[in-house]
Amino acid sequence: MKKLVMIGNGMAGVRTIEEILKLNTEQFDFTIFGEEPHPNYNRIKLSNILQGDTNFDDIIINPLEWYKENNIQLYTGEAIVTIDVESKRVISDQGREVEYDELIIATGSNSFILPIPGADKIGVTGFRDIKDCEMMIKSAGRYQKAAVIGGGLLGLEAARGLLNLGMKVDVVHLMPHLMERQLDPIASSLLKTELESQGMNFLMKKQTVEILGDERVTGLRFKDGSEVEADLVVMAIGIKSNIQVAKDSGIYVNRGIVVNDYMETSVPHVYAVGECAEHREIVYGLVAPLYEQGKILASHICGIESKPYEGSVTGTQLKVAGVDLFSAGEIFEDGTTKSIMVYNEYEGLYKRVLTRNNTIVGIVLYGDTKDSTRLYRMLTKKEDISGVSIFHTECTGEGSTDDIASMSNDELVCGCNGVTKGAIVEAIHTQGLTTLDQVSHCTNAGRSCGRCKPMVSQILAHTLGDQFDAAAAQKTSICGCTTVSREELVAEIKEKGLTSVKEVMNVLDWNNTEGCTKCRPAINYYLGMIHMDEYKDDRDSRLVNEKMHANIQKDGTYSVVPRMYGGVTTAADLKKIAEVAEKYNVPLVKLTGGQRIGLFGVKKEDLPAMWEELDMPSGYAYGKTLRTVKTCVGAQFCRYGTQDSMTLGIKLEKKFERLDTPHKVKMGVSACPRNCSEAGIKDIGFVGIDGGWEIYVAGNGGVDLRAGDLLCTVKTEEEVMEITSAYLQYYRETANYLERTSKWVERMGLDHVKEVLADEETRRGLNDRMDQTLKKYIEPWNEAIQNEEIKDKYYTRHNISVGSESK
Amino acid sequence: MIETITRIPVAHYKNVKARAGYSIRVDTTEVALFKTTTGQVYALENRSPHPKGGVLSEGLISGEYVYCPVYDWKISLVDGKVQAPDEGQVRTFKVEVKEDIIFIVL
């Protein structure tokens, strides 16, 4: 076997190895050195981490098991310092020497750091790897003010992330327009206006000349003499190929490591791929061309004849802070070009196609990029556009399956990985694929930036026709401990009659025998949902808040929020709360957003005694369960009220309190459409109208602000209770753990949910199962007060002074 | 001051439940005591190395790891090391079990 060594463990390099493995020639022993202490992860998603949408585990492309399965020797946290091209071996910074027959350099790039005074101060960073991300997240916890240098894609993503982390952000840009290499001035100014409304502040046409501060950065100085304050500076002005080790070893470099059309460097048996490579004087920074290079290198290195790499024309599909953008080809008009434009300032849509001699030479799309694949194909194939309608539609709706049918097979679906519609359809047919995950795995479509996933999903639906099962198609495994999906887990629990968390992990071969914080709470929930009143809850598989029946605060203290049904209380209860707060020196007494009183900063050992003295039920302010039912005053007192909102609210809260649900559930009841209880942004909202109630569902006032959809209008309170119970139970039975109702409804489709609930028999079944489930719950605070074992295990702090005996 | 090795009895082994964490204040130091499913007992300082702090004793225990309850960092009970992608280390204490008494060695 030949020894193949790769320096670098990033996206382009590891993709090359994947391509080699796919060719299945079994001629290599693989060794990979990675400077970072991680397996290969998706760098494109770093901005999602910064923005708080995902965590590190979710962006790992090749987990450590993948390396093991493929017998790849991986050294992480180890950089190569010398390539001895004479004796064909590499030497690491830890003194390890490894010989090679073939060597791939895939060292990627670093952030370009401006060579100005102060660039080495604490608080100055690039935006390139997980370490940079963590540094920014850490800084956001301590400091207020950030400056991002660079108004390109990366800079804007970083700025958006820092805004999410609660910092004030200035974006400093040298040029008069943002993203001037991808956008024309109109699109650029639309983007700027949008980002300003999101809270970014722009300093345009500013050249940074110095970074101010002592040890840590305190601000920036510009060429015009002006200054701005900053506790954190992110440089996002570009990348610099990482070529040092190649250069030191006598390999020919320019801006990057210079390669020919087969990715060969100037030294035999040494190749370069990715952002460190320079091909025909271009260093590519987008993932699509890098993967193309990887594919060609893989064939070449395996001795398979392949066509040479001749460079890439790239169309960039981007999403910046929630705005869809697409850009390809030429941006600026000259005397020979003509533009076709759609400009809808009102809806924030702008599309412009630049043409020359009846062919498309440039595309800029802002706000709606649905036309991008078709237009991009026309651009690359230089199709004659006379008589062709350039923009099919002017509406912004989702593409329908008709669009899928009319797509030609060679149309590009996944720009990052160069996957066409034809390739996806073929994979679905020949390999019998039914889920989005499988399609991604087989074709790579959607594996990088993920923007094409909706379209892949539509192609799957279109190709499978009647056999398409929307819910099953979304299958993904629960967590890294297993490959089992939610659907499979639920089916296995039922089929094999599994009854405990431990048994599930054992029987279904969890690779981590005691699970993790993702799967254990999920399994515990599904078991409780399936076995209804028979299941004994596994308290130690719940996360801290649900385990302790109190919200942990960042300093390790807890909060106590007693139930206050429908936000209605009494003078006697208020007195009790006041007395307890005083007696236990509660640092903060605050009205919560859910119309009740929270006592914050409580020591855990005080919890049982406080609960006992309060003698009120837990408000479950910490649980994946019904939180509160917010009500307005309603017809009892309000002159506008048409219904008795307080009574209905209290009834709902009393019925569904303590119920385990996939995620928290909030309700609101308003007595008239003025909607003082904000029922329109609750998981379930009730609005009183003359002679009945409107029921709204899937509203959300949190991260994904979403107005509720009208589920139905009913006449009586009994109907309200019956529909609500059926709706909640259907959510409990079909949602993924930790999926809010808003996401769940969007996934299932409102019409589907309506259809299910329309059937009387189904509704009765759901109600029965709900009632059976509700039987099992007991009041947890009261239970803790009475049970010494619970008190000792969860609520005791043992104090020991050295020298004394243990108790 | 004379440096001495102190063995401090902190709990009865049989009273400590598996897969549970206990907080014990030894003079001024807050210690988190954990028992794994296999019966091993570990003691760590009851403080997450996360920049925003937090306790460990209420974390979920899986094998020889505890997940910090506030920020979900995965921390080794054996050496206190924070697992990638996070970084840091928690102070660990030597534990001895003799005839049902758990001692922490300072």
Give pLDDT, residue A180: 86
Distance from CA of A232 to the nearest CA of B (A): 17
Question: Tens digits of per-residue pLDDT, A546-556?
Answer: 999 999 988 88
Same domain, A262 and A295: yes
Question: Tens digits of per-residue pLDDT, A334-373?
Answer: 888 888 888 888 888 899 998 888 889 889 999 888 788 7
* Domain span including residue A74: 2-109+241-301
Query: Among A31-40, A159-168, A365-374, which is the least confidently predicted range?
Result: A365-374
Give pLDDT, residue A774: 96
Cβ-nearest to B11 among A512, A604, A806: A806
Query: What is the count of structural domains for chain B?
Result: 1
Distance from CA of B62 to the nearest CA of A (A): 5
Beta-carbon separation of A512 and B62 below 8 A: yes
Average pLDDT, chain A: 89
Average pLDDT, chain B: 88
Q: Is residue B79 part of a domain?
A: yes
Beta-carbon separation of A555 and B22 below 8 A: no
Q: Is residue A417 part of a domain?
A: no
Q: Which residues of A are annotated as a binding site for [4Fe-4S] cluster?
A: 632, 638, 672, 676
The packing angle between helices A717-734 and A750-758, to 10°, is: 120
Looking at residue A604, its amino acid is K
Q: Is residue B2 part of a domain?
A: no
Q: Is residue B53 part of a domain?
A: yes
* Domain end point (choices A280, A301, A322): A301
C-alpha gyration radius of chain A: 30
Same domain, A132 and A44: no
Which CATH number do you get for residue A215? Answer: 3.50.50.60
Mean per-residue pLDDT for A680-704? Answer: 93
Beta-carbon separation of B26 and A800 below 8 A: yes
Same domain, A129 and A277: no
Give me B102's structure tokens.
């758990």
Give pLDDT, residue A658: 96
Mean per-residue pLDDT for A58-70? Answer: 89
pLDDT grade for A499, boundaries at 50, 70 and 90:
very high
Query: Is residue A395 pLDDT above 70, yes or no?
Result: no
pLDDT grade for A235, boundaries at 50, 70 and 90:
very high
Query: Among A44-58, A293-307, A791-805, which is the least confidently predicted range?
Result: A791-805
Which CATH number do you get for residue B18? Answer: 2.102.10.10
Same domain, A158 and A222: yes
Question: Distance between CA atoms of A229 and A144, rounded to whole angstroms?
Answer: 10
Q: Is residue A68 part of a domain?
A: yes
Question: Tens digits of per-residue pLDDT, B16-58?
Answer: 988 889 999 888 889 999 999 999 999 999 998 888 878 999 9
CB pairs under 8 A between A and B: 101
Give pLDDT, residue B2: 53
Query: Among A41-55, A726-740, A741-755, which is the least confidently predicted range?
Result: A41-55
Query: Is residue A274 pLDDT above 60, yes or no?
Result: yes
Same domain, A226 and A250: no
Per-residue DSSP letter, A807: -
pLDDT grade for A705, boundaries at 50, 70 and 90:
confident
Same domain, A150 and A58: no
Same domain, A495 and A525: yes
Per-residue DSSP letter, B82: B
| Residues in chain A within 8 Å Cβ distance of B58 | 544, 547-548, 552, 604, 794
Query: What is the count of structural domains for chain A?
Result: 3
Same domain, A94 and A198: no
Q: Is residue A380 part of a domain?
A: no
Q: Is residue A712 part of a domain?
A: no
| More confident site: A432 or A147 | A147
Same domain, A102 and A162: no
Give pLDDT, residue A698: 96
Q: Is residue A211 part of a domain?
A: yes
Beta-carbon separation of B25 and A56 below 8 A: no
* Domain end point (choices A253, A274, A301): A301
Q: Is residue B95 part of a domain?
A: yes
Beta-carbon separation of A540 and B63 below 8 A: no
Nearest-5° angle of CA A457, CA A463, CA A467?
A: 90
Q: Is residue A60 part of a domain?
A: yes
Q: Is residue B73 part of a domain?
A: yes
Mean per-residue pLDDT for A111-127? Answer: 91
Q: Is residue A448 part of a domain?
A: no
| Residues in chain A within 8 Å Cβ distance of B22 | 793, 796, 798
* Domain span including residue B37: 7-105
Does this model's pTM top 0.90? My answer is: no
Mean per-residue pLDDT for A568-573? Answer: 96
Mean per-residue pLDDT for A150-178? Answer: 91
Beta-carbon separation of B24 and A541 below 8 A: no
Peptide bond into B85 cis (omega under 30): yes
Same domain, A265 and A169: no
Same domain, A78 and A131: no
| Residues in chain B within 8 Å Cβ distance of A806 | 8-12, 101
% of chain A surpassing 90 pLDDT: 60
pLDDT grade for A429, boundaries at 50, 70 and 90:
confident
Torsion of CA A142, A147, A148, A150, to 10 degrees: -170
Q: Is residue B1 part of a domain?
A: no
pLDDT grade for A735, boundaries at 50, 70 and 90:
very high
Kindly list the distances between the CA atom of residue A216 and the CA atoms of A143, A219, A328, in Å, as whole numbers in the listed order. 11, 9, 40
Mean per-residue pLDDT for A240-266? Answer: 94
Q: Is residue A760 part of a domain?
A: no
Same domain, A168 and A233: yes
Q: Is residue B89 part of a domain?
A: yes
Q: Which residues pair with A580 in a beta bridge?
A: none
Question: Distance between CA atoms of A179 and A507, rounded to whole angstroms?
Answer: 53
